Structures are given as structure tokens and as C-alpha cells.
Amino acid sequence: MPLFVVMLFMVFGHKKVIWPDFFLAAGLFYATMKSVRFLPYYAIEWPLLLGTMTSDWPFRRIKGFLVAPILLVLSVILLVDKPLIPAGKPIGEPVLAANYLEAHHGRVFNMYSWGGYLISRHIPVFIDGRTDFYLQGNQINQYMAVKHLTKNPNIIWKQYNVRYVLWAPKTAVATYLLSHSQEWMPVVRTKTAILFQHRGTW
């Protein structure tokens, strides 16, 4: 949507387009479509491009004494207002499982959505949100094969010498592991996640 707005200004506006800035914004837009981790860079670039294209608009000439109070009020609101989710209380994250993994080392096969959180806890992961990075290898396909049980998970886990599997309850993988309790033992179990430990060696 932001890039579409910029293109409208290019077609109907009177300001000369700064092509290097436009191609930078377009490149970041493409990168963002490939991986969400580029979104902050795109969010910074496109307003700058839009600002240069509207620099001669009348509203840009508003006096500073009118803008300053507005910015001051917004700053106070941001500083005083309490966040919706208090810091230090992650919601929907496998906190107890991460606590256990910090004290018990071993290779972890984790759910995609928890990769970033585990990395923030300094726990090595099998996969995380850096999809473009993992597309270079076979890990995405292996992860999907385990998730949908299209292949015997133990074959993949043995390949990576996986000691722990961190997965959401009431899923196909969790059901599979619970039904193979002779090989996999739940060591942490909450409403959010179940951490399974492999019994013995591969």
C-alpha cells in the first residue's frame, strides 16, 4: 500500500522523482515480501521518499510553534502510558521449556513460531523466522515433513541428533510423540508447549 501511494504521486504529482530513493524503497518492499525482518527498513525508507515528493505542499509549511505542542503531547503519552503487555511477561511463549533448556543442553527441534523467542534466550534452534536463510538448504522441507508427518520424524531427528522436541500440545506431532513414550519422554508440559526428551542415544 505505501509503495502504491508513492507510485500515485509519481504519476499525478509535479515533483521530480529521486530514482535512487525510489529503487531503494522498491527493493526493500520486495525484500519485505520475501522476509518480514526487512519490514522495519522499509517502514523507514518509504516515508522519507514520500516526504521528498511532497516537500512543496502547503501543509509542509506549518509553523514550528504549532507542531511542537503536538509532538510534546504525543511524547508524554508514549512515556506515561502503560503497555498493553507488561515487559518481561511473554505471552504464548514456551517460557518454562526455555528455562529447562537453559539448564539442560542438547539439540532442539522447535516449532517455527518459537524460534525467535528461543534465540532471545540464547538457545540454539532448528528453525526460526529467517525463512530466506533456511530456504538455501533443506531444513524448511524437513520441518514441514515433520509438522505434517509425511515422513517418519525419527529419521530426521536422528540425522540432526535431536535430543529435545519442543511442540504445541494437541497437534499431530505432539500426539505422535505421546504415543511413542518409550522413545520420547515429556519433561515440561504446559498449556502452551510440551518439551519432549529423547530417551537414550540415536
pLDDT digits (tens, 9 = 90+) for 97-141: 999 999 999 999 999 999 999 999 999 999 998 766 666 778 999
Side chain identity, residue 17: V
User: Would the pLDDT of 83 be above 90?
Assistant: no
In contact, 35 and 130? CB cutoff 8 Å = yes
Pairing state of beta strands 164-167 and 184-189?
unpaired
Backbone dihedral region of 72: left (phi > 0), alpha (psi from -120 to 50 degrees) or beta?
Answer: alpha
3: closest CA among 53, 70, 64, 61? Answer: 53
Give the pLDDT mean for 160-189. 94
Contact (Cβ atoms closer than 8 angstroms) between residue 112 and residue 143 = yes
pTM for this model (two decimals):
0.61
The pLDDT value given to residue 157: 96
DSSP 57: S
- pLDDT interval class at 29 (50, 70, 90): confident
Q: How confident is the model at residue 153 (pLDDT cuts 50, 70, 90)?
A: very high
Query: Which range has the top average pLDDT, 5-9, 35-39, 188-192?
Result: 188-192
